[in-house]
Amino acid sequence: MQEDGVGILYKKYEELKRKLEQEGYFEEGHKQKIPLIPKTIGVLTSQTGSVIRDIINVSTRRNPNVCIRLYPVPVQGEGAAEKIADGIRFMNENKLADVLILARGGGSLEDLWPFNEEVVAHSIYNSEIPIISAVGHETDFSISDFVADLRAPTPSAAAELAVPDIYEIKQKINTYQNRLRLTLLKKVEIMKLRYEKCISSRIFKEPLRNVNDNYLKIDTYIKRLENTIKTKQKEDKTKYIELISKLDTLSPLKTLTRGYSLVEQDKKIIKSVEELNTGDEINIRFIDGEKKAEIL
């Protein structure tokens, strides 16, 4: 006899899902990227049945050189969850694969229950090898699907996600090679045109002509500079002579040559009689000497 309605297993499933989600087991930041071209695919599933055959067929069709390493585990029944968890730890400890596929076919909630056990969720979460979960049909969702790094709707789809199509990769490589070849040809053509342009240029044909032309320009500039300097010197010399003449004309000593004299008191020129008092001693400067005098 079972409870009518939701059922005990479904309640346990929802409770564990909420618990693990709160603990961060489903966070995207913890999920690892699936290798681009893995060499070895580890598979944890039953060694009998269609699941492993489908995975092998799809994987080898997409890449004949890929290695499939099966770790047989029971996928339903009592004790299956512990053996699945042990298989994940064993594959990690011995580094036996580049990516793991955890797979089984469809079934009821009771059949899929080992993949809803907490021990399996812990092993998936702690795995250093990326894990793809492919449990049940496309509409089936297990705890393993939420914890795994990637969920596949079916085991065959898991093989397609894990193993890239080597023929598509070759096609892409050929496309890139063709693009590179065309780019190089275009580059060579551009360089060829530039080379031909250089060959036909006057500089390439007569390299010294350009140098000689520049020499002539430099000589012309030097002569212009020399003429400019000479003209400037001549102008400055003329201005200098004019300033000397003006200074000589305004010099007090020049006045003495015309018969005038200078009256000084304490080395200061006297300009007015009012600056002198009776008894003051003065100095009179002539062209040929000086004499002292007293004001009477």
User: Considering the domain 14-164 in this protein, what is its CATH number?
Assistant: 3.40.50.10550
Q: So what's the pLDDT on residue 4? A: 59
Question: Model pTM greater than 0.85?
Answer: no
Q: Which two tokens stand for residue 221?
A: 């500039």
Q: In this predicted model, which residue has the larger pLDDT, 195 or 26?
A: 26
The DSSP output letter for 7 is -
In angstroms, rounded to a whole number, what is the distance separating the alpha carbons of residues 159 and 103? 10
Strands (E), the chain: 40-45, 67-72, 99-104, 131-135, 150-151, 262-265, 268-269, 281-286, 289-294
Where does the pLDDT of residue 96 fall: very low under 50, low under 70, confident under 90, or very high at 90 and above?
very high
Domains of the chain, by residue range, sit at 14-164, 166-200, 209-250, 252-294
What the block records as the tokens of 56 is 């092998």
pLDDT in tens, 56-73: 999 999 999 999 999 999
Instruction: State mean pLDDT over 25-45.
Output: 92
The yes-or-no verdict on residue 118 having pLDDT over 80 is: yes
Q: 228-284 pLDDT, tens per residue?
A: 999 999 988 988 888 888 877 777 667 777 778 888 888 888 888 888 888 889 888
What pLDDT shows up at residue 198?
A: 75
Check pLDDT > 90 for residue 92. Answer: yes
Q: Which amino acid is at 105?
A: G
Q: CA angle, 83 as apex, 69 and 10 as ends, to 5°?
A: 115
For the residues 106-130, what does the mean pLDDT come to? Answer: 89
Residue 179, pLDDT > 90, answer: yes
